[in-house]
Structure 1
Amino acid sequence: MEKTNQTNDRTVTLKRTFNAPIQLVWEAWTQSEHIAKWWGPKGMDVKVLEHDFKVGGKWRYSMMMPNGNEFISEGVYTEIVEFEKIISSADFKPMTENVEIQALFEADGNKTNFTFNVVHQTEEYCKQQEKLGIMNGWGSVFDRLAEFLKEE
Structure 2
Amino acid sequence: MSNQSEANNRTVTLKRTFNAPIKLVWEAWTHSEHIAQWWGPKGMNTKVIEHDFRVGGKWKYAMQMPDGNEFISDGVYLEIVKFEKICSSANFKPMTEGVEIQALFEENGDKTNFTFNVVHPTEEYCEQQTKMGIMNGWGSVFDRLGEFLEEK
Tell me the TM-score range normalised by the shorter chain.
over 0.9
**What is the rounded CA distance, in whole Å, between the counterparts of 1:33 and 1:102 in structure 2?**
21
- Alignment partner, residue 18 of structure 1: 18
**What is the rounded CA distance, in whole Å, between the counterparts of 2:99 and 2:3 in structure 1?**
20
Deviation (angstroms), 1:63: 0.2
**Corresponding position: 1:96 with 2:104:** no
**Corresponding position: 1:57 with 2:57:** yes
Deviation (angstroms), 1:4: 4.2
Calculate the aligned-residue CA RMSD, in Å: 1.0
- Alignment partner, residue 119 of structure 1: 119
TM-score with structure 2 setting the length: 0.98
Residue deviations 1:75-108, cap 9 Å, x none? 0000000000000000000000000000000000
Residue type of the alignment partner of 1:25: V
TM-score with structure 1 setting the length: 0.98
Q: How does 1:133-144 map to 2 (within 5 A)?
A: 133-144=133-144
Deviation (angstroms), 1:66: 0.9
* Structure 2 residues without counterparts, runs of 5 or longer: none
**What is the rounded CA distance, in whole Å, between the counterparts of 2:121 and 2:98 in structure 1?**
7
**What is the rounded CA distance, in whole Å, between the counterparts of 1:109 and 1:65 in structure 2?**
37
Paired-residue identity, %: 78
**What is the rounded CA distance, in whole Å, between the counterparts of 1:49 and 1:97 in structure 2?**
18
**What is the rounded CA distance, in whole Å, between the counterparts of 1:99 and 1:135 in structure 2?**
15
